[in-house]
Amino acid sequence: MNEADMRRSLPIGVFDSGLGGLTVAREIMRNLPMEKIVYFGDTARVPYGNKSPKTVQRYSRQIVRFLKTQEIKAIVVACNTASALALDEIREEAGGLPVIGVVEPGARAACEETKRGRIGVIATRATIASHVYSNAIHAIRPELSVIGKACPLFVPLVEEGWTHDKITDEIILRYLDEVLEYDIDALILGCTHYPLLRSEIRRLIGDEIRLVNPAYETANELKRLLRSEALENDSPRMPGEPYPYRFFVSDDAERFAGFANSVLPVDVKSARIVPIEEY
């Protein structure tokens, strides 16, 4: 195997503040099935949505330093909060490795989908307060209106497995009532947990509003990036080759594996705990 082939065969580093980034990993697995993945979930320090920008930047740098020890070829920031608050620091720490966040692909897709020029964004408090989605959208189409709404209860509901529950329906409607008053025609699911509520949101708000899943859009953007950088792995997995997906967390590996098996199209037998504060 020559050097170029060896580089193409390296894994993609994917990280999130905890469990939600598994929706991004899922889309990468589905859309780039030959790619290997190293996933890190910062389960000891989740959530990032109520942390200061400096804290999120410090955590993100530590994670990037760890991922680089795993000989990766690119980094996907599968966390809206880290994408909003720490993308520059992540790129600096990555030292030349290609880096993709989840915000810009989602913003671009929403700009393409809207017909009436009114886009809703639901996300964590930190992501909404950062205005990162509205800034990204206005950089593409300045004339569009963007309405943001923080939905902090969605994450614990998803992690409790209450995606099909009357309480969840009530909370979705309560959060989205204000956003729907603006007659939006596109809604960005601006937290990586939120795609796991997609069917419930769709059922409650109807079919006229286009739901934008940044996890799916990020996987497509990653595919374009890998092709443009000649990094796409086009070699099928050989018999006896090691399992292509590795999972690391900063705490509670058993809970992570259980949640991962409810989200991913593969069997996650275990995750390794990493003392991330040492990086």
Catalytic residue selected from 24, 77, 79, 107: 79
Cα 42 to Cα 243: distance, rounded to the nearest angstrom = 22
CB contact set of 118 (below 8 Å; sequence gap of 6+): 144, 145, 147, 182, 183, 184, 185, 186
Catalytic residue selected from 119, 123, 191, 222: 191
User: Active site includes 191?
Assistant: yes
> What b/e readout covers 49-70, taking b as 16+ CB neighbours within 10 angstroms?
bebeeeebbebbbbbbebbbee
Partner residues linked to 127 by β-bridges:
none
Cα 94 to Cα 66: distance, rounded to the nearest angstrom = 11
Cα 145 to Cα 125: distance, rounded to the nearest angstrom = 19
User: Active site includes 79?
Assistant: yes
- Strand spans (E) along the chain: 12-16, 37-41, 74-77, 99-101, 118-123, 145-150, 186-189, 210-212, 245-249, 272-273
Q: Which residues are catalytic?
A: 79, 191
